[in-house]
Structure 1
């Protein structure tokens, strides 16, 4: 399941600051743009509200870790630690937020929506994409086509990286999201495990990639 929203649709967003722990508050200060900080706050709000309803508790009882480049985790008071919690993943970009949830399997989601198509982008591809993936981006005939292809591949890569729990500790160039025919694969081998991968259009403006551990019993 993927929950998603535009940050402009969320009411009382800034009042949610009172629920942030010290780690989250410090992370919020690190964002260079107001929009990015707004997205971060909205994602934390939606995550807290979902889990508070799941656990039948107050949002201020839930602490969410906020270490940069690390998968966010819930830290619950002792009385709630025996509850079964779903696995979740958060993504936010350009005024959109998404939370992917699975009852039992590790999951990752990414909705990266913006980048510029420049020489720096092409240089970046050589560091994060396999030769086949980079070549696929380069086959596009214009900047917009290359930008879209770049983002489609990157969302898929980051969804898998998040699902593994390793994030950027797993080099994106160490695995491919393409099959032998150069098309987006429905299963990906990464970090010694197999992951299901789906690319979905949440709205006409917001596309996402979602990855979760592949187990025969979960299909």
Structure 2
């Protein structure tokens, strides 16, 4: 698993995720979509050795992005944008990536957590909670993106466990699935702390 930080970087092997800090401040969902798709086209063009206009990104009915051109790459794509930071994941298997801002001032919505996650979260000292929630939530969102459901799948219906500062595991009793993923801290263009998560499904 490779973490890259520039759209000009190519991955020597997959899976890989690009975390690209920008100065952009998208004001709404369409602007966020435009930002992440334009950077994804640039990343894919570099990765495939093509011109950007030879790359086309579409989406499945549920919203998961897919590589329309070049046709037949066989690769899976996931995209995320938050507070000017764009995440792009590329893999040979279904993949999900997400980024979340560490919100120091807000109270996290604990009702959307699995009971095991909530118990763990409430056991943490208060100063550790904003970062922990951002990491946990980015991992949960990356997982449902990899499933292709998004949060049509209830976030409290599966459990994420953070395993140190770089890994997490998912226990999904509903699907009988266990998965492991990667987490990372980075900065966006405004230098705020962001939590990123990547997961690939067998």
TM-score (norm 1): 0.67
5+ residue gaps, structure 2 = 1-15
The root-mean-square deviation of aligned C-alpha atoms, in Å, is 3.2
Q: Is 1:178 matched with 2:171?
A: no
For 1:211 and 1:129, the matched residues in 2 are separated by: 19
Partner of 1:5: 20
Deviations 1:33-64 (A, max 9, x none): 62765543221111112223444544334443
Deviation at 1:113, TM superposition (A): 0.9
Query: Which is further off, 38-47 or 149-158?
Result: 38-47
Q: Is 1:40 matched with 2:33?
A: yes
Cα separation, partners in 2 of 1:95 and 1:199, compared to 1, 3 Å? same
Cα separation, partners in 2 of 1:93 and 1:112, compared to 1, 3 Å? same
For 1:92 and 1:201, the matched residues in 2 are separated by: 15
Q: Is 1:209 matched with 2:182?
A: no
**Structure having greater relative contact order (Cα 8 Å, sep ≥ 6):** 2
5+ residue gaps, structure 1 = 14-32, 215-219
More helix by share: 1
Deviation at 1:114, TM superposition (A): 4.4
Cα separation, partners in 2 of 1:117 and 1:146, compared to 1, 3 Å? farther
Q: 2:122 aligns with which of 138, 142, 159?
A: 138
Deviation at 1:193, TM superposition (A): 3.2
Q: 1:165 aligns with which of 138, 143, 148?
A: 148
Q: Is 1:106 matched with 2:97?
A: no
For 2:194 and 2:133, the matched residues in 1 are separated by: 15
TM-score (norm 2): 0.72
